Amino acid sequence: MSVTYDDSVGVEVSSDSFWEVGNYKRTVRRIDDGHRLCSDLMGCLHERARIEKAYAQQLTEWARRWRQLVDKGPQYGTVEKAWMAVLTEAERVSELHLEVKASLMNEDFEKVKNWQKEAFHKQMMGSFKESKEAEDGFRKAQKPWAKKLKEVEAAKKAYHTACKEEKLAVSRESSSKADPALNPEQLKKLQDKVEKCKQDVLKTKEKYEKALTELDAGTPQYMENMEQVFEQCQQSEEKRLRFFREVLLEVQKHLDLSTVPSYRNIYRDLEQSIKVADAVEDLRWFRANHGPGMSMNWPQFEDEEWSADLNRTLSRREKKKAADGVTLTGINQTGDQPLQNKHSSMSSYEKTQPYPADWSDDEPNNPFSSTDANGDSNPFEEDATSVPGVRVRALYDYEGQEQDELSFKAGDELTKIEDEDEQGWCKGRLDNGEVGLYPANYVEAIQ
C-alpha cells in the first residue's frame, strides 16, 4: 500500500511492520483507545451498579410482599418464624447489594473518571495532548530515514526503467540484423542506442546501490530514535494497564460478598432460625390456643334477674386483649393449659379471627343471639333511631373483634348513644344503623 507522509510520498510499503513508514500510527492510536477504554470501563461499572440496585429493590419488594402473605396466612409457630427468617435474609442481602452498588459508583467509577481526567488532556482541535506528542516524536524520528527511503525507491525505479530500456534496445538490434532492407546507418544507430542504455543501467545501478548504502547507514539511528519514542508510549500504556488491573481487583472485592463477614452471618443466622423450628412445640401451641386445650365458658344456670345491661358488662369483662393482657373472668377452665397468646409467632390470620367463632347464634346461652334466655331481644337490635346521641368522629381505624363491636375507619362519623362504661367502652350507632360497642378513646366529639 502507498503511504502519504511528508517527504515519503509514493513510498511503497512492503509489509505491515512497525518500521514501515507511517505504521507508528497504530501506537499513537492506542493512546486514543486508552481514553475510550476508560469511558467503556465506567459504562460497564455504571451498568453493573444499576443491576445491583434493581436486584436489591426486587429482593426488598419480594420480601415485603411475602412477609404480608405469610403474616396473614395460616402458618403459625416456630415454622412461621423460620419462614420469616428466609424473608429477613432477602432484606439483609438487599442491603449488601445496595452497598455494592454504592461502592461501584462512589469508589470504582469515580476512581476511573478522575484517572482518565489526569491521564488524557483534550486539546482545542479535538486530539489529546499525549497523542500529539507521540505523533510528533515518531515523525521526527522517522523523517530522515523516510527521506532516504524515498531516494532509494526513486533510484530503484530509475534502475529498473534503464534495465527495461536496455532489453528493448538489444531486442531491436537483434531484429534489425536479420532485416536485409536495413541500411548500415540505421543499424549503427541501433547499436549506439544499446550502448547508451548499457551506460544508463550502470549509472542508475550505481545510484541505487549508493542510496541503499546511505539508507542502511541511517537505519540504526532511525531504529534507536523510534525505539525511544515507542518506549515512552509503552510506559504510558503500562500505567493504564496497571491502573485497570488495580481497579478491577477493587471491583472484584466489592462484588465478592463471600468475603464480607456480615454476609456469612446472614446465612449462619438463617440456618439457626430454621433449625430451631419445632413441630412438637407448634402442635402444642395449636392445641392450647385452637384445640382441646382452650378454656371454655361452659353454660351455667342463670337467674331470671339477668338483664341486658349485665350481659353487656359481663361481655366486656370477659374480653381478652393480647395488647394489655386482660384475663377472662367468670370462665371455668377444664383444659390442661390456659389460653396463651401467640405473641410474635402469631400471624395476622389468627389475630383477625374472633375468639367466639365457635359459638352459634342458635345456642340458647349465646349472649350475641337475637334472643336471650328469657326471650328478650338483643339490646343492640333496639330501634336505634329512637335513641338520642352525640356525633363523634373516629381518630383511628378499628376492626371489631367480637360480634357486638363496631368497625370503622379513621375520619368516619357515628353517633354515641351511651356514655363510656368502667371498661372504657361506649355504645354507638353507625350511619347505616348498625349499633354496637367501640373503644371510647378511639373517637372525639364533633364540635
Strand partners, 427: 418, 437
- Integer angstrom CA distances of residue 184 from 128, 178, 179, 188, 194: 73, 12, 11, 6, 15
Per-residue pLDDT reduced to its tens digit, 296-345: 888 988 876 544 444 444 444 444 443 344 444 433 433 344 334 444 34
Amino acid at 9: V
End-to-end CA distance of the chain: 98
* Chain position carrying cell 542504455: 197
Tell me which DSSP letter residue 106 carries. Answer: I
Q: Cα angle at 191 between 187 and 195, to 5 degrees?
A: 170
Average pLDDT over residues 145-166: 93
Per-residue pLDDT reduced to its tens digit, 108-123: 999 999 999 999 998 8
Tell me which DSSP letter residue 8 carries. Answer: G
Per-residue pLDDT reduced to its tens digit, 164-213: 998 998 888 777 776 666 677 777 888 888 888 989 999 999 999 999 99
Strand partners, 398: 408
Average pLDDT over residues 407-413: 92
Q: Alpha-carbon distance 338 to 325, whole Å?
A: 13
Q: How does DSSP assign 141-170, residue by residue?
A: HHHHHHHHHHHHHHHHHHHHHHHHHHHHHH
Nearest one of 31, 424, 32 to 232, comparing CA atoms: 31
Average pLDDT over residues 77-102: 96
Q: Alpha-carbon distance 420 to 390, whole Å?
A: 12
